[in-house]
Copies of this chain bind each other. A is one copy, B any other.
Amino acid sequence: MNKISVHQADTKERILDAAEYLFAMDGYRGTSLREITGRATVNLAAVNYHFGSKKILVEEVIKRRLLPLNNIRQQRLEQVKAVAQRKGKKPDIKSVLSAFIEPTLKFKEANPGAEHFFTFIGRSFTDPDTTVRDVFMRYIKPLFMLLHETACSSLPDHSEDIIFWRLHFTLGALFHTIHLCGHMKTEFINREVDMDADSLINLIVPYVTSGMKAK
């Protein structure tokens, strides 16, 4: 690796890190290129030189973390399916939900530097900017379909429609929780919201499992 490409990789990485942090804190629209390049200590023109536009930058920020995370969640879901099939049973709904939730909530601890992306995820679904929503949606949709399919085979007594909605309630609870941990420390004081991933998992999994099984 020569000197130039080392420098480039370093600059791109620093821009991605700074953008990730600022997008998580202030949102896509609330963050200017000047703030990003200022935080990354690179020149203002560097974003457009290395990425082409702010729009492409945010797509790269999302892709960098979401592709690996989605790979893990997909593997876990397919593993749950395979184990159930080998035993000739239907998959346990708790295992199905855990396969999606655990990697998500552990992602922060597993990836040093990804703390802020975690916060960004929590806002993704409701971001006022269609660019951000569309990119997130594009990457999460195939995974949601796999999750839906697996949950349906796990709960054959419930209709696909009901499972569709209950999975969305589950995603809502999960994303709200993720956002809560990143932003609410000052707003709901007298209450510990800075928990480790395992404690959070132990709180949310029984709730959503019970919700999915209802009736």
A residues with CB within 8 A of B: 26-30, 122-123, 125-129, 133, 137, 141, 161-162, 164-166, 168-177, 179-180, 183, 187-188, 191-192, 203-204, 206-215
Contacts and interface: CB of A to CB of B under 8 A. Distances in A.
Given A176-B176, A207-B211, A210-B213, A122 B128 contact: no
Q: Which 5 pairs between the two chains have the least Cβ-Cβ distance?
A: A27-B128, A172-B176, A210-B214, A169-B173, A211-B211
Nearest to A206: B214
Nearest to A138: B187
B30 A207 contact: no
A204 B29 contact: no
A126 B169 CA distance: 16
Given A126-B123, A169-B176, A169-B177, A208 B206 contact: no
Nearest to A195: B165
Copies in the complex: 2
A179 B163 CA distance: 18
- Main SS at interface, chain A: helix
Contacts of A206: 214-215
Contacts of A125: 176, 179
Nearest to A205: B214
Given A166-B207, A210-B213, A211-B210, A179 B126 contact: yes
Contacts of A192: 161
28 contacts: A27-B127, A29-B29, A30-B128, A30-B129, A125-B179, A126-B176, A137-B187, A141-B187, A161-B191, A162-B203, A164-B191, A168-B177, A168-B180, A169-B177, A169-B204, A172-B173, A172-B175, A172-B177, A173-B176, A206-B214, A206-B215, A207-B211, A207-B212, A208-B211, A209-B214, A210-B211, A210-B213, A210-B214
Contacts of A213: 210
Given A129-B27, A208-B211, A214-B206, A176 B166 contact: no
